[in-house]
Amino acid sequence: MSNFSGGQIKSVVPRAGVEGGEIIISCQGYGTSDYSYCHAWFGDQRGRVISAAPDRVIVSVPDCDTGIESYELKLESADGVMATQFMLGAKLTENMHPVANPAIDENGSIYVTLSGTRGQKVPVSIYKISSDDTVHPLPAEVVNPTGLAFNSEGTLYVTSRYDGTLYKISPFGEAETVATDLGIATGLAFDRRGEIYVGDRTGTIFRVNELGESRQFASLDPSVAAYHLAFSPEGDLFVSGPTVSSFETIWRVDAMGDVTKFYTGLGRPQGLAFDAKGNLYVAASLRGHRGIVKISPDGRNAEVVLAGASLVGLAFDGEGDMVVVTTQKVYRVPMGIKGYSVF
């Protein structure tokens, strides 16, 4: 941490973020005698100072249109400048409409949706972002694509919350029906055996075999949407569903379909992903702070590790990067985390 005239940045929480996220900078001797001189800079991008005191500054993370990810975070005041490093997510694309996690193939390409409002048919609803950050439209005609996931052979599957159908996408980008009558199909995940799990907004979780035959696997309370699904390294299925509550639960479903509470205390929890150590990452709010929340394997500890507004999902690539999506944008953040994959 840098300092000037006795001033010093002690810590930044969290140390990574994307546009709209709020970070707390703990410092010593920050000059606030003239608030008009209080500024925060992420490289040459200016962040909005929400509040400032000599020992604590809250800043809103700005947008970033460059591919640079590590920035010098500087606090300016009438007394001078103090600085440290901050990880600012690089924006890959915008004008999308993800409503769940992105999916990443074995080559590092990222798949996201332009889902649209219920029943809205858009010209292109699924996009591929290649490893060189080029965006390619897929011709698959799926209305309201929601959940995305790859099977062990690298085939992309997608749910439609419009017609309750599970599709698989051919190498040519064409959609083929796998299973129907899956309610308002949202969440999507594969287990180690290759069986498919689809969540319904009424709380039902279906299991679909390789023949496209489905049956009810588990059921949550009807008020809980099984909107987002992810398998842990131990083989349990974890489920979240956003509501307007600020004290929501992440649910754990064992191999027998029995449902228990894993963690309670999140605001509007959405996309889920695990790292190789069994930590769970959730796009949610924790104690009023929105971002990516990391929850320990035993469910006892939680912290925000990335700040961001309007986040709906995340995924880990093979390079230790975290890909996060908002309701419109896609970012890559080099977090140095090895993600968990069932295959």
Q: What is the pLDDT of residues 281-323, one digit of tens each?
A: 999 999 999 999 999 999 999 999 999 999 999 999 999 999 9
pLDDT at 70 over 80: no
Give the pLDDT band (50/70/90) at residue 251. very high
pLDDT of residue 250: 97
Average pLDDT over residues 8-26: 96
| 36: three-class secondary structure by DSSP | helix
Region at 257 (left for phi over 0; alpha for psi -120 to 50; beta for the rest): left
pTM for this one?
A: 0.95
Strand order in the sheet with 185-190: 185-190, 196-200, 204-208, 214-219
The answer on pLDDT for 6 being more than 70 is no
- The pLDDT-based confidence of 39 (bands split at 50, 70, 90) is very high
Q: What is the mean pLDDT of residues 198-225?
A: 93
In 268-320, the DSSP E strands lie at 272-274, 280-286, 289-295, 302-307, 311-316
Average pLDDT value over all residues in the chain:
94
Q: What is residue 37's DSSP assignment?
A: G
Assess contact for 337 and 275: CB atoms under 8 A. yes
Domains of the chain: 3-88 (2.60.40.10), 93-334 (2.130.10.10)
pLDDT at 64: 77
